[in-house]
A and B are shown apart, each in its own frame.
Chain A
Amino acid sequence: MTKQVTFLMCSPRGDKSASYSLGSYVTRLLEEKGIAQQSFKIYQIIKNSQKIDEMIKSIDGSDIIVLSSPLYIDGAPYMTIKLMDIITEKNNQGKLSKKDRLLFANSNAGYLEYYHNNIALRIYEQFAEKNGFTWAGGLPIGAAGTYAMYPIPEFLKMLEPLPEDDPRKEIYEKPTKIIDSVIKTAVDHLSKGERVPESELKKLEFIPMPLQAYVDSGNKNWIDTAESLGAKDKLRDKPYELKK
């Protein structure tokens, strides 16, 4: 019997998000292994009871659930928590049959360091436990904005021709290759109905560049973007400051 995966994409930024880019890469690789995919963009279905029923039906028939979410203020965003509320409620109502299902998640953040995502992933693990899903592991991804712009396979293709002494090899290509390799190994395990080994996920525990370099380039990016929107001089405004 064909296996099935349900992809729950939790970013409100849609196809332009790192959540979409990373999660859809996982599910595409699963599809290549013959696992049928159904995907749901949560912001599009959250208020539509018919679509929610479709999602629950999909989860019910699935062997694997892939949850892909941004990190908002150190934890799960509203949209992702609401999704967990709905699934838990439907499960409590008996809408999910007893079946072995793996939950595999990724949490991605704009911060450079992967570990900002750890609490969100532990929250998703609790959600899995509460709902009788088997926690298959989670990918903590830092500096995730890169993958919103460039999906992993395309990004690696872009970086490949660069000369070996180009600093982008170290800053971008090396970490992306590690993430790519971990995802591919994870997909191998998931497709066999197995959890992703902790030792594999631990390979993501690295910081690819000096913190200050990331801070400087990130801050320049904010200024450039604000300038293009005519708001450069207002960036430090304090609109809610109490008048003395």
Chain B
Amino acid sequence: MSYLILNGMYKDDSFIPKINELVSKELVKRDVKGETIDLHKNAIKPCLGCFKCWIQTPGVCIIDDYAREVAKKMIQADNLIYLTPVHFGGYSSELKKALDRSICLMLPFFRVYKEEIHHETRYDKYPNLIVIGTLEEPNLKQEEIFSELVERNVLNNFAPKHATQIIYHSDDESTVKKKVEEGVRIVGDDND
């Protein structure tokens, strides 16, 4: 059982590193091994929208930079965890620059799934998805958008199980700990 944390914090964020530490500790407690990638410390070029990772070099982005390694680690993990500030209801640009480059993990082919058009799976197995967003203070509209975004992502990245948590900067220590435990509760469950 393994995990990969994609840390999408902005470089001056002092809150997410604490959450990252708590999540990592919680995972180790559950005997899950893995690593955190601090995306802001890595040079990742933006997706060109060229679809060559689908139709020219299938499964591999044509841009040869660290995003290739990120995509490989994403699909090889059992549990994928996004850490991000909730940003206008969505993900941070730091997280999204890596996610945009991971479309090589699905096939170009369309299919009708749950009465909607989605892409087909490229791999036989996909990781569980845990998304932890942080907010300075409660913001109902942004939280709704964020949760719906994760639900839509799950339809497109084929996560067998998923969880979403929002942690406020104003949460006290025990609440933060509880939310982290709740967020990672699906890790270690038998989903094979």
A240 and B116 contact, CB distance less than 8 A: no
Contact in complex: B60, A126 (CB < 8 Å): no
A231 proximal to B (CB < 8 A): yes
B107 near A235: Cβ-Cβ < 8 Å: yes
Stretch of A160-168, A188-196, A212-220 contacting B (4+ beta carbons < 8 Å): A212-220
Q: Which of A13, A75, A84, A85: most chain B CB closer than 10 A?
A: A75
- With a CB–CB cut-off of 8 A, which chain A residues contact B89? 119, 122-123, 126
B149 with A74: CB separation less than 8 A: yes
A205 to B109 CA separation, bound complex (whole angstroms):
24
Tell me whether A73 and B103 are in contact (CB under 8 A).
Answer: yes
Does A236 contact B58, Cβ atoms closer than 8 Å? yes
Which residues of chain B come closer than 8 Å to A17, judged between CB atoms?
49
Contact for B59 among A78, A211, A214, A237, CB less than 8 A = A237
A75:B107 contact, CB within 8 angstroms: no
Residues of B within 8 A of A124 (CB): 88
Q: Is the C-beta of B75 less than 8 angstroms from some C-beta in chain A?
A: yes
Would you call B112 and A212 a contact (CB within 8 A)? yes
Complex partner residue of B156 from A70, A74, A123, A239, CB under 8 angstroms: A74
Q: CB of A225 within 8 A of chain B?
A: yes
Given known A74-B156, A113-B116, A123-B145, contact A225–B55 (CB-CB < 8 A) = yes
Measured CB to CB, the nearest residue on chain A to B72 is: A240
Contact call A215/B75, Cβ cutoff below 8 A: no
Residues of B within 8 A of A226 (CB): 54-56, 58
Q: How far is the CB of B52 from chain A (nearest CB, A)?
A: 8
List of B residues within 8 angstroms of A240 by Cβ? 59, 71-72, 75-76, 105, 123
In the assembled complex, the Cα of A124 lies from the Cα of B145 at a distance in Å of: 11
| Interface residue B18 (Cβ < 8 Å from any Cβ of A) | no
Most buried by B among A123, A225, A231: A123
Residues of B within 8 A of A (CB): 46-50, 54-60, 71-72, 75-76, 87-93, 96-97, 99-100, 102-103, 105, 107-112, 115-118, 122-124, 141-142, 145, 148-149, 152-153, 156-157
